[in-house]
Structure 1
């Protein structure tokens, strides 16, 4: 595990961007396939399509694909605006000293990363957290909570902002924004399909349907939201390791980011406005579930973020402080 963070550091950001663009395209394709399969299941179960007595045209499938295409376009051009609005983000007020300092920190990290200056927002919430969103580095936004500004000092805030600008520079933000909107779409489509089951005549009549197709179709509708969330989680976990490594490239200070993670972990405060559809965007999981601090394959499968303790360990290892007690680390940090 120790190599996971370090191994990303030498990689050129252009390679990361190219890989993430391809990954974004594949993720969209997988979501479209999921929409397609749910549409086919609805056609077969509720509209009796593909049966002798049913319609010849798969209306639900076409509508599902149209809905998915519209969501993809919306998320590409307006996804960040929708996410910021849903989370209650507001533009910085430079007259407030904490906001002015945050603006200065983001400006410094934008210069260090080579990114254009992103738009900066704040959410008035005591839970310490942050996220970045947008479709590319020219249309990026970063957002922090007031809880983070209160909890962290300047060095630690700098580490968090470097992490978020790492997401921007690596083109993670497009992928994460697309996933957020498409996750919501899958959930809506699945919920509508399940509600339709209560009034569908296919619930009462088999209509010559094959049990070998009915059972998978029902399971697909029921578990489509879970499948889409697992897909989002798998993408998000690796992006967090990479963004931590990128932040260290920008700040040359892994300790600042490690200390920020320690403080946020100690706060243990969930962010009430976040949902399972937006959790993968954040610096740490805003839902703060117990599984997020566990390790192992099952925990990796069910969590949007790697364990905070592991991220801290890797950062201290990069600083050459792994294996020391907290007191020894503090002395070494002061001496540097």
Structure 2
């Protein structure tokens, strides 16, 4: 591993960055929970008349949406890793191939550095340089990299990428995104039920108070708002994984230079889908919005702008970096 004496003190900034990103993630998730409750109560009030009874009101829609979404999400949680690996054509390492042996060694090193159990390691035969981690917890985790990434990166850069994926495992990002998926699915169910109940004959007999009007508007916009909040959590977890990777390697430039090569390759990963895009170290769909910084990218991208991530890593190494474009 290369030693980076210049900027050694600056490289310790990864601790502060981890703390900041964890705090932002927690705040967004807390707001997401409040938003889900608000949407649920709005549906119960404005559409289902759950609070019209003289007896104790029961927020039926809120509880039902939470229950249904939890069941559906947990089903994916327990089988999702197998589905994702199968969908990308992941294959176990072949010990006869030098690149595979080196990858196994790098993953072993990063497992030791992170304090996590050794994950299962897979490759998928695709020219696009990319990688992802999946699994319910540390004990059942897997890391998969493309052959394009192994061919493009040197050992330090591969180590940076693997450290990023090990960071997702140690930070329990799969569990975090399960919670986000429950909330996202719950809001979608509530909005769908509200739309269906609008045309129910009982709806015409409901009063429209001053509270009902903003409640209806909130429910109508809830799918978009919840999606934006879910994407915000995903972006913060990427920043957190970058900072945690530096903790493991003490080499910010390894990951920074890997991201530069992934950016410059500009190749989409053909087997990726919108449902799995957030798992990868860089958006495999190569959408333009994910490569930009600004208000639109902040709202709609699964990943932070890659230029911004590279800049922060160079800053942690105490080295200047000029953003392209």
What TM-score comes out, normalization by structure 2 length?
0.75
Deviates more, 1:272-281 or 1:61-70: 272-281
Q: Which residue of 2 aligns with 1:182?
A: 182
Higher RCO (Cα < 8 Å, 6 or more apart):
2
Given that residues 157 and 255 in structure 2 are in contact (C-alpha distance below 8 angstroms), is that contact kept between their aligned partners in structure 1? yes
* Higher mean C-alpha deviation, range 270-279 or range 130-139: 270-279
Number of the residue aligned with 1:172: 173
- Aligned to 1:161, the other structure's residue is in SS state helix
Per-residue CA distance 1:49-92 (angstroms, 9 max, x = gap):
4458xxx86543332121134356546x6165266257435341
CA contact (8 A) 1:230 1:301 kept: yes
Distance apart, 1:211 and its partner CA: 5.7
Structure-to-structure mapping, 1:54-133, within 5 angstroms? 59-71=60-72, 73-74=74-75, 78=78, 80-81=80-81, 84=84, 87-88=87-88, 90-95=90-95, 97=97, 98-133=99-134
Deviation at 1:122, TM superposition (A): 3.4
CA contact (8 A) 1:135 1:177 kept: no
Q: 1:161/1:209 Cα in 2 relative to 1: closer, same or farther (>3 Å)?
A: same
Tell me which residue corresponds to 1:251. Answer: 249
What's 2:217 paired with?
219
1:265 Cα shift? 0.7
Structure 1: segments with no counterpart, 5+ residues? 327-336
**What root-mean-square deviation, in Å, do the aligned CA atoms of Structure 1 and Structure 2 show?**
4.1
Residue number in structure 1 paired with 2:14: 9
Q: Distance in 2 between matches of 1:138 and 1:242?
A: 21
**TM-score when scaled to structure 1?**
0.73
The alpha carbon displacement at 1:117 in A equals: 0.4
Go from structure 1 to structure 2 and tell me whether the alpha carbon gap of 1:211 and 1:257 turns closer, same or farther (over 3 Å shift): same
Map of 1:153 onto structure 2: 154
Residue matched to 1:196:
196
Quote how far apart the aligned CAs of 1:127 are.
3.2
* Residue matched to 1:330: none
How far apart in 1 are the matches of 2:272 and 2:69?
A: 23
The number of residue pairs the alignment matches comes to: 314
TM-fit CA distance, 1:161: 0.3
Instruction: Choose from 256, 264, 267 the match for 1:266.
Output: 264
Structure 2: 5+ residue stretches without partners: 1-6
Structure-2 change in CA distance of 1:153 and 1:9 (3 Å): same
